[in-house]
């Protein structure tokens, strides 16, 4: 799979939707681009419970992986991009719905892009895909 690394939003979306083998390939590509940083994390549970910790967990994951620095600007950018992704992901989803989501955070040192992709369900027979996306300048 040939993936252009000049669009961090597209890279975040592709990574969030990738399987394990594809993710490994993407991480190899990103590793060759010294200006790019990538974090992948997962969240699952009830929407109402995840909502309380979603943005904080993204900040923690991005800091731990050194995708962003521990400064006000980058943290603020993750807050806004994370909220934008969360709102897209959970639009018209009730609090009791279950979510299982893969989140990709990509930064090029100037911008951060966050993509969240996974499944939601009120009932096991209503399971379907969802996606959310946000971008913010550092």
Question: Which residue bears the tokens 């951060």?
Answer: 112
Question: Which residue bears the tokens 């909220």?
Answer: 83
Q: Is 75 inside any structural domain? A: yes
What pLDDT was estimated at residue 94? Answer: 87
The dihedral built from the CA positions of residue 41, 14, 75 and 85, taken in this order, carries a sign that is negative
CATH code: domain of residue 89? 3.40.1510.10
Structure tokens at 104: 């990709």
DSSP secondary structure, 8-49, as one string: HHHHHHHHHT--HHHHHHHHHHHHH-TT-EEEEEEEEEEHHH
Q: Is 1 inside any structural domain? A: no
Q: Which domain holds residue 107?
A: 8-137
Q: What is the mean pLDDT of each run of 10 residues along the chain (138 residues)?
A: 85 97 94 92 96 97 97 98 97 91 98 98 88 98
Q: Is 124 inside any structural domain? A: yes
Question: How many CA atoms lie less than 13 Å away from 87 in the CB half-sphere?
Answer: 8
Q: Is 3 inside any structural domain? A: no
Q: Is 2 inside any structural domain? A: no
Domain count, the chain: 1
């Amino acid at each position: 799979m040939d993936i252009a690394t000049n669009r961090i939003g597209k890279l975040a979306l592709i990574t969030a939707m990738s399987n394990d083998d594809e993710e490994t390939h993407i991480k190899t590509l990103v590793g060759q681009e010294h200006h790019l940083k990538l974090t992948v994390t997962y969240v699952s549970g009830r929407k109402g419970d995840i909502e309380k910790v979603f943005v904080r967990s993204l900040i923690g994951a991005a800091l731990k992986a050194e995708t962003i620095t521990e400064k006000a600007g980058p943290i603020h950018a993750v807050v806004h991009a994370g909220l934008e992704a969360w709102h897209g992901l959970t639009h018209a989803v009730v609090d009791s719905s279950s979510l299982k989501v893969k989140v990709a955070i990509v930064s090029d040192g100037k911008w951060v892009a966050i993509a969240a992709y996974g499944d939601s369900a009120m009932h096991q027979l209503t399971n379907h895909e969802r996606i959310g996306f946000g971008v913010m300048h550092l």
